[in-house]
Structure 1
């Protein structure tokens, strides 16, 4: 989090005409942090005031916070309607984004979102926070038919490859002094109609190209 001194330095830098990157360097922060701070807390007329920005940041950090769909009636009505039509949160989020940009016209049969957007993760969080009975009353049902997140396995995720060695456990071959280390890759042709595998010996740069007429699935490549 930015301190009072950081915000005062940002305000002084802006008044002096410094770039956001230069300000970030002076206070020892990432340029993206300074950029977001200024964009979020500009006051009327686009003027950044450190004291006002600090108060706004303190309010934003208060917990618990209402979810976006609980705060915005227009957005909630649109999302609930689209969910009831069988659309996924990703589809809804993507459609709202292109509607807000003016790329496509609003959907005729859906409530107008009036330029509002929301991430698919925010929609999932809102769904999983409500009991199943409430969601059924609104006609909300995910295509996966799940009403809560899947819990991770108790022992953690198992590697998809039996006996797999992590890359950190393999010997360092950055100097390419010892031959015999091969690197594999996959090249996919136009429109995914064809594919070939490549094998490169790291020391000699010897290349083998193998056609994959049967397809590019793991068993077909083997």
Structure 2
């Protein structure tokens, strides 16, 4: 027998039937066929039957085996699914899953939030793989396109991201991320932020992105342009309503829009640190958030057409979306708890599945 398991063939089943008629044991048959004795024993247990009319063997009727009947049963079971599909389009669970996908949630967020909210109701539990299977198992056509459109990446395959050279110039003597305080590195407390610009068509428009490292709470800032002065005004406006304890540090890349970082620090009380060049993983939270935002702010579009009200609505969608690193609570809930507003936090959590 080779290293990989294979089902018994018709010839092997025939040999088992002849061997059992001669009274050979499972171990003798296994040696003859080059199979494990347990394989033969399981096959006889599944497909053997007692025939009282046969000659007794050691006080018990012999175990007869019909190769043809065993082969038919194996083919029938091979075509039969082991378990009925749990997530079928007419079911109440499918309706709930599809509604949450329509809110921009990922299958994993849907799966683990349902498990968290209904821990004792197994009928409401569904894995993210089952959700993907239900979507891609749909027949080709308008329905399948509609279901795939519910996913953030509307494609079956992903393309590698381009790795062009950084042509934005360099700033010198910047406070390094390696000097950032431990509480910011460990994400132990709110008030430590990561920031970035996402650019629009031809790099002529932009939106400021600010993410709290502890709660993943997102603020989007409308910018009048892409210059350092506009970044200063926009980020100052975004941080101004926050209490001092939620304005501790800001980590940014070395983009030229942060050339006035010292003035920003003086206005807001933030200590500003800069990641190493070409090291996006040092601001992984913000980079991941940028990817989520492209669902709403696609590349190649003019971002100047979005008002602050529209950007706030987009941020609200992401802030009320459950996140794995928050044990599938949402950023808005955790941010309200950081502000001491447990009542609002509970209302947000209760409204997640509405």
TM-score, normalised by the number of residues in structure 2: 0.24
Which has more radius of gyration? Answer: 2
Higher relative contact order (CA 8 A, sep 6+): 2
